Structure 1
Amino acid sequence: MDGSGKTLVSVVVPAFNRVEYIRETVESVLSQDYPRVELIVVDDGSTDGTYEILLEYAEKGDLKLLTHPNRANRGQSVALNRALENASGELIAILDSDDIFLPGKLRAQVDYLQAHPEVGLVYGMGEAVDEKGRWLYNIHSPNHIEPNDPNTVLLDCYFSLPVNALVRRSIYEQVGGFEEGFRAAQDHDMLIRIAEKTRFAFIPVKVFQYRRHGDSISHKGLRKRWENGFEILRRAQARYSYNTSTIRKRRALLNYRMAQVCWRENRSFAAIGHLLRSGALDPVRALKVLTGKEKVR
């Protein structure tokens, strides 16, 4: 790998109905100071004008635009796999279509991977912003320490694979594609599988903005996300030798999250059942939450 810019970075973006944000997202990639960037966007059947905006960029040669047959909507995992299949870069960065790469993001992460060949994934700091781009809170601090333990990644998805990380292409080739049966939590599933195969590294550089808004996938698909979480946990347990305590605590957290979903859906009986299971699996943490000593966001 050559830090002077000879290494090609493929930035892949799955896009679906993001007309309000897609220009800013694309421009955040095009304005990077790293010289060799291939931008691949898969439009996943947009109907709100997103596709037409992307087509403008594609016609100027700023990005490679892909679609599914008949411009169907097939979900983010399918879109990501399509992009990865068409990517030529040695390094891969994923960017959700409503998030932002901050200036210098790619150069800082490429430089790190060049200097540390034993590392397969590098991530940094960021900030959450609202739909208008107004700052909400910081994500990670300069004193954050990467534990390099798959147990920690399984238990607590403490950083985002999309928008934050830069990953060697060889790692994706080892772990396989995104699970196309998941329309939520596929990013956590992939991050777990990557953690089982390679070392992670953290750099104290602010590299992204994560946009929080009511129309985001993470906001709308909470039930499906936590239902998928149980299946992700089952697969992880079958695939890798995780600590028994990690499996138990993760199952407790999933039950707690499902209780929250059930409360929102006015399914109080089901919510109580999940809460009881959560408390039985991890009574120490349950007590901390009940007494206000810990908040689970």
Structure 2
Amino acid sequence: MSPIFTPTHFSQETLAVNPGNQPTLPLVSVIVRSMGRPELRVALESISRQDYPNVEVIVVDATGGNHPALPVIAWQTGHSIRIVGGHRQLPRPQAANEGLQAVHGEWFCFLDDDDTYDFDFLSAMLNASREHPETLLVYGKARMLDANGNVTKLFGSPFNRAMMYYGPLFYWQAAIIRRKVIELGCRFDETFEICEDRDFLHQIAEHCDFAFVPVVGFNYRPDLGTSGTGPGANRDRPRILRSENLLRAKWANASSYHTRRLVEMCTGAVRAFHDGNLALSRTLFDKTLEAYPDDPSALHGLARLDFHDGQLAKAEKLTRRAIEINPSASEFCMTMALILEASHKYEEALEFVWRARINPAFQAGADELAQRISVISRANPIVQPPIIEKFLLCRPHGGLNDTLCQIEQCWRYAEKFGRTLIIDTLNSGLLAEFSEFFSPRDSLTKVHFSLSEEQLCLLNTFTCFPHSIQGKLNTYFAVYSMDSKNYVDRETTAILTFNFDKNYDELVLIHEQCGGGNLSFDLLNRISISENIRPIVLDRIQHLGHEYLAIHVRNTDYQTQYKDLFLDIYPGVTNKSLLVCSDDAEVISHAKNFFTLSNVLTSSQTPQTGNKPLHLSSTHSDNAQRKKATINSIIDLIALGRSTKLYFANVTAGHSSGFSRLAMHLCQNKNVIDALLKLDTSTPSSTSPKRSLQFSSKQSIRWC
């Protein structure tokens, strides 16, 4: 681990100068990506107050030429500022690369336009860098501030290659970086929406270890951010998930290597402990921490050794740190309970007993320890903790019908075994939270139509099945396996589901799969269109009228011989209104040119996607386009269901699409549409919008 450094402050009086009266200290370039927000002045003022005398400030105009004039600030001698960019609007990684191209300094760093540095940040970092001439990056701790400027926490941990791939070890603005990384080819990957900073750090880590300096010098205001990575209003989970999935996929090999190496090192140390060779065990755990500082398993191993030797204070300190890093590890909590029992801290020991008891593997030992503490402390008899709520986290994949089928399957299990169902559709064809589009009707089962950050953090502390992703619910990466024909955890290849006929002791069950069928029909009886989009749906289907035929064609990832279908139905749709819905804009264009004797209608505008399915996130450029695509799909579904006759054909794979089957179900059961749209059909009116939605379900239906 890196030593603690005492900052050295620089002044013009103590600064050595060369004959040209220029500072001999290395130039530092501070890059500020800016959208011209008012907070920019505060960030720049914090740079102007730096006691380090050789600084250039590079403001990157990411607005596309609409940036306001830079604020007037009294810059010190040796400090300079210039603005670059402005030729086009720049997303985050492109703006960062623009800044890299402008760097003149031997060192550079980034400061967001809503954050600040302490006056001695650069001098402390440069002073620390002298102790690490081989490193390319030096970083310190940061203060996280609330809206009132109060410190909510300090953040920054020792450099650990195994842990860095699961989440940031520090805020990257709290680092200074050698210009050499640019010469080594490190650049910001412009395929990222966010997390481009973490990817950039991973690239640098391919060349060296980072030096951790426990000096606080950077102040982070997450409430002012707009990236979507902060709390509250600045929290965009779909955007975070997409970028983190991309990040994990890109660095999967490096992550897997260090995870395996770490496990092997800890396993050897544990084996030595159980063999009674405590000296070797301690040596191996020390070597593990040397390679992977602050690893919680190694910290816990040393704590067990200290506990065995009677070093209770040291054991407690190490175990608390291990639990701070990984609060979901029941073994750590059990060790802490034993240490606190030995230290006569009985009340707190019981708190950790109950935390350990969550894991079925520790229940018997936890109950025995709780009873022993009760007797030793002469306390009242131990009362068992209340029954803890059990959860089922449903994370469906696939298109709309697949998503609904997977949710219904999980809903039935939750009803059967008394679990709370949490639906997370960020990786599904909906491309957003389920609550954005649907709301629940009356249900005896407790159901959440979205997954909050607070819930995710809570679930991460519980026992979980599959076991391989326990404590990793926000970091594991699901990939489709051709062998199992469904989704698995990429790191362990464990199938991400469970036995739906079995009742589990684990508090959290994970089901992350795809697959269609007809279960979606039943789910439609449990849900309604959300108030967020209901007015949009009603408005868009009014122009279709009371009587029309409809055709649905799936023609992106699955292909349909739709021209043959058009020829077949042509006589039956002549001189009639015909709604055409498809995921392929070319199909709709062809229909308008082909059915010249029909009144061709559309209920939504299908974009040109180059045969990419509409339910894939990568098909769309941003969140607004993704949400629009999902709303259009729901509108098309309702519109198809309202038709008096629905035509569709099997795709070339030999089966009908799930979306077509779902539309057929609605066409045959129009009362389901009324319930989805929350329409009161008891008092029909010829002028009310709901009147145009009432059609007989006895009309002929053709399944081509």
Contact 1:214 1:220 in 2 (8 A): no
Q: Are 2:83 and 1:73 equivalent residues in the alignment?
A: no
Structure 2 residue corresponding to 1:83, chosen from 99, 108, 119: 99
Structure 2 residue corresponding to 1:262, chosen from 424, 433, 452: 433
Contact 1:15 1:46 in 2 (8 A): no
Structure 1 residues 155, 279: closer, same or farther in 2, change over 3 A? farther
Q: Are 2:165 and 1:154 equivalent residues in the alignment?
A: yes
Structure 1 residue 281 displacement after superposition? 6.4
Taking the TM superposition and a 5 Å limit, the aligned residue runs for 1:56-71 are 56=72, 62-69=80-87
More strand by share: 1
Q: Are 2:248 and 1:233 equivalent residues in the alignment?
A: yes
Structure 1 residue 225 displacement after superposition? 2.2
Structure 1 residue corresponding to 2:155, chosen from 130, 136, 139: 139
Aligned to 1:11: 30
The CA distance in 2 between the partners of 1:263 and 1:185, in whole Å, is 24
Aligned to 1:280: 466
Q: Which moved more, 1:231-240 or 1:111-120?
A: 231-240
Structure 1 residues 172, 133: closer, same or farther in 2, change over 3 A? farther
The CA distance in 1 between the partners of 2:247 and 2:43, in whole Å, is 29
Q: RMSD of the alignment, in Å?
A: 3.7
Structure 1 residues 99, 186: closer, same or farther in 2, change over 3 A? same
Q: Are 2:393 and 1:222 equivalent residues in the alignment?
A: no
Taking the TM superposition and a 5 Å limit, the aligned residue runs for 1:242-253 are 242-243=257-258
Aligned to 1:107: 123
Structure 1 residues 281, 62: closer, same or farther in 2, change over 3 A? farther
Task: Point out which structure has higher relative CO (alpha carbons under 8 A, 6+ apart).
Answer: 1
Contact 1:125 1:208 in 2 (8 A): yes
Paired amino acid for 2:51? D
Structure 1 residue 222 displacement after superposition? 3.0
Which secondary structure state, in structure 2, belongs to the residue aligned with residue 159 of structure 1?
Answer: coil
Structure 1 residues 281, 227: closer, same or farther in 2, change over 3 A? farther
Contact 2:30 2:56 in 1 (8 A): yes
| CA deviation string 1:41-91 (max 9, x = no partner) | 1021079x9x3242646999841111231xx32211111111110110010
Structure 1 residue corresponding to 2:63, chosen from 45, 51, 62: 45
List gaps (5 residues or longer) in structure 1.
Answer: 247-254, 293-297
The CA distance in 1 between the partners of 2:254 and 2:185, in whole Å, is 12
The CA distance in 1 between the partners of 2:82 and 2:121, in whole Å, is 21
Q: Kindly, what percent of the aligned residue pairs are identical?
A: 27
Structure 1 residues 269, 55: closer, same or farther in 2, change over 3 A? closer
| TM-score, normalised via structure 1 length | 0.76
The CA distance in 1 between the partners of 2:253 and 2:470, in whole Å, is 26
Structure 1 residue 263 displacement after superposition? 6.5
Aligned to 1:130: 146
| CA deviation string 1:160-182 (max 9, x = no partner) | 11x20111111233242101121
Structure 1 residues 133, 270: closer, same or farther in 2, change over 3 A? closer
The CA distance in 1 between the partners of 2:224 and 2:45, in whole Å, is 23
Q: Are 2:220 and 1:210 equivalent residues in the alignment?
A: yes
Q: Which moved more, 1:172-181 or 1:182-191?
A: 172-181
The alignment covers a number of residue pairs equal to 266
Following TM superposition, the consecutive aligned residue runs of length 4 or more in structure 1 with deviations greater than 4 angstroms are 55-62, 238-241, 258-261, 263-271
Which secondary structure state, in structure 2, belongs to the residue aligned with residue 106 of structure 1?
Answer: helix
Q: Are 2:210 and 1:24 equivalent residues in the alignment?
A: no
Which secondary structure state, in structure 2, belongs to the residue aligned with residue 54 of structure 1?
Answer: coil
Contact 2:48 2:75 in 1 (8 A): no
Structure 1 residue 201 displacement after superposition? 1.3
